[in-house]
Amino acid sequence: MSAPHIPILRQGRVHKSLDVQTVNRLGSEEPAAEISFACSDMIKYDLLKMGEARAKLKAMKSADLVEITKKAGEIFLNDDLPIGVDGAMQSPEDYVLSLASTSGLPHSLIRMNMKRLGGIFGQIEDIFRGLTRGLDWEVIDKGYGEQGGAPVSYSATTNELAVILPSNSPAVNALWIPSIAMKVPVLLKPGREEPWTPWRVIQAFIKAGCPPEAFSLYPTQHDGSGAIIRRAGRVMLFGDDSTVKQYEHDPRVEVHGTGYSKFLIGEDEIENWRDYIDTLVESVSANSGRSCICTSTIVVPKYGDEIARAVAEKVAEIKPLAQDDPEAKLSGFANPKFAEWINAAVEEGIKAGGATDVTAEFREGERFQERDGMNYLQPTIVRVNSFDQELAIREFLFPFASVVECPQAEMIDRIGPSLVVTAVTKDVDWINRLFDCPHIDRLNIGNVPTNRIQWNQPHEGNLFEFLYTRRSFQIAAIA
């Protein structure tokens, strides 16, 4: 298949830009896609008209949109869908190959993410119920109704959910998929190397019967992203700690930042630490360690050295393999410089003292590897002597975790903000304290990998509460 042209979608309408950029297959000069770029003022103009797109969805019944969403999931997973502007079609396998060619992700990880995304479509009712605490869809259709015997009314806070998507993880598209059933159109800015997933999800929705007007897709430069962030009614974006800080007081903007997810073993369970090694390995290395829900710090009251060695020995088995190797679990870097920067940061942390790369003993070769024209970082477990060591609480785009010893009584005070915490314990007092801890977003008690999440609970914010606001209302009887 020749490189498709991914156009701009303006409320579903195809716009082929005169500003076209080519994304090459990683490690080659061969084009994988031509991408139409939108100018920022065009996006500003279109944002003014998003009310029309919202009206299209509002006119539909939620029940129909739920069915469309479920159907779209099946289509996304199984059907050939249009790709680009020239009438070409993309099979699910083509999608895997295209995404692999620009993102560096192994095929096996893409298929895993695909399955995960497919699940989101299928679970739409469960997700809505979870996020709304059991609200009847009809309340969204009618604008008001009852919930648990109390009167409720919800109105949309925005005409669009804008999402500035990253290039490194197709699964993040899960975050916006429920928005359609909630009758809020989406405006997506794809990552430069990853137009594939948002495009395919959109095409699946359209094929399933959703109005095309509900979808806007704007590949754009930095100023275009800025226009979206400043102008859209609700914005989701992905960034580092500084981005999170920049928007912490802006209720329109929800930043998905670093997770600093942690795996804690309590004093009551530490003697059984060998039972949790497989869970730890999955938590650290799933999705090539790229997710904010992957464990980046393992906190134990003792046996730090032993646990670090046991995890290191297993993660060291994860090696750079050919992208199409079914066993491949490690992703290359789309931007080869990233691997160099990250490796340098890890090395610097080790040189600072108080940290040992335990994986070095088990893995083949250096952490930094080149293969098939791509740069890789091999999994790394670092044993640190305290929470103050600079690698103790760090998160990188590859399977990386520190192991730190800390008395159980001090753990909650030392872990800091954590998107996911898994605590292996049966100690009820400690469990109660963990539930009370304000800087843990998602809490797993017991032997649950940090990367396994249920979408019917809030994830870095509650999508329904982001898109809808509850108002008080009274309706007098008409005389």
Interface ranges with other proteins (CB under 8 A): 17-19, 37-39, 41-42, 44-45, 48, 226, 230
Q: How far apart are CA 431 and CA 315, in angstroms?
A: 29
Q: What's the closest the beta carbon of residue 15 comes to other proteins, in angstroms? A: 10
What is the nearest approach in angstroms of other proteins to the Cβ of residue 166?
A: 21
Q: What is the distance between the alpha carbons of residues 252 and 321, in angstroms, rounded to a whole number?
A: 42
Please give the Cα distance from 409 to 304 (Å, whole number).
Answer: 17
Backbone torsions φ then ψ of 186, nearest 5 degrees? -115, 150
Which tokens belong to 69?
């969403």
Of 247 and 362, nearer to other proteins (C-beta) is: 247
Q: Which is nearer to other proteins, 17 or 167 (CB)?
A: 17
d(CA 6, CA 8): 7
Residues 122/73, Cβ–Cβ less than 8 Å: yes
Q: Which two tokens stand for residue 163?
A: 């999402």
Pairing type for strands 144-147 and 150-156 reads antiparallel
- Please choose, from the candidates 253, 309, 276, the residue with its C-alpha nearest in 3D space to the C-alpha of residue 423: 276
Instruction: Give the number of other CB atoms < 10 A from CB of residue 206.
Output: 20
- Cβ closest to other proteins, residue 160 vs residue 405: 160
Report the C-alpha gap between 439 and 368 in whole angstroms: 34
CB of 42 to other proteins, least distance (A): 5
At closest approach, how far in Å is the CB of 48 from other proteins? 7
Provide the terminal-to-terminal Cα distance of the chain, rounded to the nearest Å.
Answer: 68
Q: How far apart are alpha carbons 62 and 68 in whole angstroms?
A: 10
CB of 221 to other proteins, least distance (A): 10
Residue 8 C-beta: closest distance to other proteins, Å: 10
- For other proteins, the closer CB: 19 or 325: 19
Cβ nearer to other proteins, comparing 43 with 75: 43
Min separation Cβ 361 and other proteins, Å: 43
Amino acid symbol at 443: L
Closest CB to other proteins among 39 and 164? 39
- Residue carrying the six token digits 């750079």: 320
228 phi and psi angles, rounded to 5 deg: -65, -45
Which lies closer to other proteins via its Cβ, residue 17 or residue 132?
17
CB of 44 to other proteins, least distance (A): 6
31: closest CA among 39, 41, 21? 21
For other proteins, the closer of residues 168 and 225 by Cβ is 225
Least CB distance to other proteins at residue 217 (A): 16
Q: How far is CA 465 from the centre of its chain?
A: 19
Among 160, 198, 136, 199, smallest CA distance to 58 is for 160
CB-nearer residue toward other proteins: 41 or 64 = 41
Residue that has been written with the tokens 């040189």 in this structure = 351
Kindly tell me which of 106 and 219 has the beta carbon lying closer to other proteins.
Answer: 219
Query: Least distance (Å) from other proteins to the CB of residue 30?
Result: 21
CA dihedral 457→461→462→465, nearest 10 degrees, is 160
